[in-house]
Each structure stands twice: as C-alpha cells, then as structure tokens.
Amino acid sequence: MTDNAPAAQASEEVRVPVLPAADWANPLRDARDRRLPRIAGPSGLVIFGVTGDLSRKKLMPAVYDLANRGLLPPGFSLVGFARREWEDQDFAQVVHDSVREHARTPFREEVWQQLAEGMRFIPGDFDDDTAFKQLKDAVEELDASRGTGGNFAFYLSVPPKFFPKVVQQLKKHGLANPPEGSWRRAVIEKPFGHDLASARGGRAGYYDGIGAARDVIQNHLLQLMALTAMEEPIAFDAEALLTEKLKVLKSVRLPEDLGRHTVRGQYAEGWQGGEKVVGYLQEDGIDPKSKTDTFAAIKLGIDNRRWAGVPFYLRTGKRLGRRVTEIAVVFKRAPHSPFDSTATEELGQNAIVIRVQPDEGMTVRFGSKVPGTSMEIRDVSMDFAYGESFTESSPEAYERLILDVLLGDANLFPRHQEVEESWKILDPIEEYWAAHGRPAQYASGSWGPREADEMLARDGRSWRRP
C-alpha cells in the first residue's frame, strides 16, 4: 500500500434502504396462511351512539377483549360521539365500567391503561357541524399522537333513521375520504331499511318495534339459510361467498297461500326465568293497539336442482322458552326399512343440528340398536361442543365483527345485493300481514303461538325443541 492511498476507505458511508412502514411486509408470514392470529394494523374506531345499550354491553367490552387477546395495535384509538357533556376522562370511566361488567376476558390494568390513553369523546348532535369538525380534529390528533395511520372505522350504533344524516356529515367534513394509502370504513347496524324501497333509498324509520320478521328473518335467518343451502364457493373470500349466496336468495319461492304457511305472534304475559312478566302490549311506551310482531315463522322453498321440493322453515321470537340459534337439517326416512315397525317405533328422523349460539357445536342424531338379544332401535346422538374440545373459547360475535372491519375482511358482511334480495322475499309477507288481522298471542316462556305448531302439522311435521 502506498503512502498516498486513501486512508478513509475503511470508514466509507454505507447506506441501507429503509422501506416506509406502510410498505413493509413480514417476509416470514404468508397472507394465505390463516393459522396465525390476524392482528389489526394501525387504526381507530369511532362509535356513534356510544351511550346506548349496544355500545355499553357489546361494543366497548369487545374492544377491550380484542386488546386483551393481543389482536389490536398498541396505538389503537377509540372515539365516542353522543349527546352528553362529557370530557375524555368521563368517557374513559364509562368504558371502564362497561368493561368491568361485561368483558369476557380478565381485567388487566396494563391493557386498560394502554387502551385508555387513546380514548376521546366528542359531544354533539348528528346535525351539529361544530361537533363533526371537532371529530375531524380528534382523528387528525390521534393520527399524530397514536400512529393510527389515517385508518378509521365508523360504527353507526344509532336508530336507522339517523344513518343517512351521519353518513352525509362524514362526507361533508372530509371524514369519509382517507389520506392516500389509508382506509375509512362504516358499519351500519341492522336492520337496514324496513322494506325494499327504504333499503335502496337509505330511508329507515323505527315504529314502536320494527318487528321480529324485519329484525331477525330479513337480516339473520335468511343469511343462515343462504349459507346452509349454497353450493361450495370457489374460494373462501367475500366475492365467492356473495356469488353463491345470491344464487340461493334469487331462487327462493314464497308459498302460494301465505295465510297457511306464515305465522306472526305477539307475546302475552307469562312466566320466564322464574319471574312473572307482562305482555308486549303492557310494556312501557308500547301502543296498546300495536300490531308489531315479536314472533314470526315462515315456510320457504328454493327452486334449484339440489333443493327443489325441500321445505325451509324459519322461526324467530322474543320471550321464548330459551335463547338459542340453531340450524337443523332433518333427513327423510329411508324408502325401505328391513326392520319391522315394532323394532323402530321409537326411532325418529336422522338429523344434523348446528348450534350457532350459545353452545357452539354440532349434534348428529341417528338410530342405533339397543344392546341385548332383542331387536329394538332408538335415537342416539353424537355431540361436538367447541367449549369442551378446545381450551380457547370462541370470540364473541362483536369481537369478530370489529376485528373483521379493522382487517377489511368482508366475508361475513351482507352486501347490498343480498339485502335487496332479502327484502324481496319478506316484503310480500309483511304486506299480507298488514292486510290480514293481528298477531296471534302466545304466553311468555312458551315456544310461540299454537298457530305455528298447526302450520307445521299441516305438513306432517313438528318444530324441533332446542
């Protein structure tokens, strides 16, 4: 090496390219691998109507449970919007009390403190421009202080008649438009509309109770029916699921005689949970002449190659014998049995029962020979329960909903096409009911009106008792 060689070569500057956080991806993770927990990226949630029961009993506890499970980002932010003169700390106290009372996971102070640091409250009405300006300022402040990345979901936990106004205000004040590379999403609580026309136009008003059919059949049960009856999708993504569910909903056939194959009811006084309870018409704030249904049962058909001739019975109600959601697929008897009638007189029909809630699982019912030398066949069941087979409990419905919103996973969210097809099914039934009499009465704590049992009896069937 000569004397005039560049002595500084060893310390020459080395530059390592650094990717922006938004463009960085973990090379050890594959987006197609669903075995690993899905954790939300930088984001926040704004809840409109944050003082209501849904928010207090479901949404706030679900947010905490997600944080406690490690499924929310460290800088996650929660903003409440309501007509209360609260400060941020007042809102945090309300959330704290709700979490303590309703959360499903143990309370951990360190998790709570991290979550509480990102809580803000905006007082105001939905037509208050000043309040929405404050909301925009709060969102921008949280972007800077908590690193939410401009990603915010807006949860409309408000009566349907306010949906259009809130959405208009979000758009007017620039809250619906995300910064480049970010997202904004809105969650609209059911029911969306009270018929097809209002669902298309966004005009949805409550009366003294929107009714069991509109509240549950149009939203939940038709979705469960579509998921049960659809063909296998080509992929487990939102578009493929939508394609198959729409095929089912478009194939639904209403019964020719709606009077014989639909029933609506209204609970009367009775006993439930060991307590005497009043009837619907005696509830506070209910018009004594109200025709709102608290029970609905309908029979539908699906005109396609797989399901032609198979009846689908949908039933929902309030103040029934038990709170349960299930899907029961009951099989036809075999056309020929090698056993005589005395051997099978206690044998029912084979069935697969999918328990959606509260005890998630599945039961398969079939016939088995009774041990011994005699020939006797009885029903037996094989049972699977998530709670017994796995140490980790299933996430509560609102936990899954909020996490899916933050992840942008639309698999379980009905699209507007599904909503419209569901109203096309229900509208003729509601119109018939509006022109024919009043809901049948049933005792609180029972399984619905006698007319519902008679509806199935005419088809030679009976309702399954959960």
Q: What average pLDDT score do residues 365-369 get?
A: 83
To the nearest whole percent, how much of the chain has pLDDT over 90? 47
| C-alpha radius of gyration, the chain, whole number | 27
pLDDT value, residue 154: 95
Answer with the residue of higher pLDDT: 343 or 74: 74
pLDDT bucket at 36, cuts 50 / 70 / 90 = low
The full set of domains in the chain, from first to last, is 38-189 (3.40.50.720), 212-457 (3.30.360.10)
Average pLDDT over residues 211-229: 88
pLDDT of residue 5: 42
pLDDT, one tens digit per residue, over 423-454 is 999 999 999 999 998 999 999 999 999 999 99
Q: How many CB atoms lie within 10 A of CB 337?
A: 13
Residues 395 and 67: their CA atoms lie apart, in Å, by 12
173 flagged as catalytic: no
Is residue 327 within 8 Å of 228, Cβ to Cβ? yes
Query: Model-level pTM?
Result: 0.79
Residue 225's pLDDT is 95
Q: What's the confidence (pLDDT) of residue 317?
A: 93
Residue 388: per-residue pLDDT: 85
Percent of the chain with pLDDT over 70: 86
Residue 204, pLDDT score: 32
206 has pLDDT over 50: no
Query: Could you report the per-residue pLDDT of 61-112, keeping only the tens digit for each?
Result: 999 999 999 899 999 999 999 888 888 888 888 889 888 888 888 898 898 8
* The two structure tokens encoding residue 453: 């049992």
- The larger pLDDT score, comparing residue 466 to residue 100, is at 100
Confidence class for position 345, pLDDT limits 50, 70, 90 = low
- What are 116-129's pLDDT values in tens digits? 898 999 998 999 99
Residue-level pLDDT at 380: 83
pLDDT 10s digits, 17-33? 444 444 556 677 676 66
The answer to which of 41-45, 286-290, 414-418, 455-459 has the lowest mean pLDDT is 414-418
pLDDT of residue 175: 92
Residues 6+ apart with CB under 8 A from 196: 420, 423, 424, 427
Distance CA 404, CA 412 (A): 8
pLDDT given at position 168: 92
Band (203; pLDDT cuts 50, 70, 90): very low
Catalytic position from the list 96, 102, 173, 220 = 220
Average pLDDT over residues 383-405: 85
The band of 216, judged by pLDDT with boundaries at 50, 70 and 90, is confident
pLDDT of residue 16: 45
Task: Look at residue 459 in the predicted model and tell me its pLDDT.
Answer: 93
Averaged pLDDT for residues 283-309:
93
Give me the chain's average pLDDT, please. Answer: 85
Per-residue confidence at 218, pLDDT binned at 50, 70, 90?
Answer: confident
Average pLDDT rounded to a whole number, residues 172-178 = 91
Give 408's contacts (C-beta < 8 A, 6+ positions apart).
183, 185
Q: Which of 292, 274, 299, 86 is nearest to 283 (CA)?
A: 292
φ, ψ of residue 164 in degrees (nearest 5): -60, -40
**pLDDT given for residue 23 in this prediction:** 53
- Which residues contact residue 301 at a Cβ distance below 8 angstroms, ignoring those fewer than 6 apart? 252, 253, 254, 255, 307, 308, 309, 310, 311, 312
How far is Cα 73 from Cα 117, in angstroms, rounded to an integer? Answer: 13
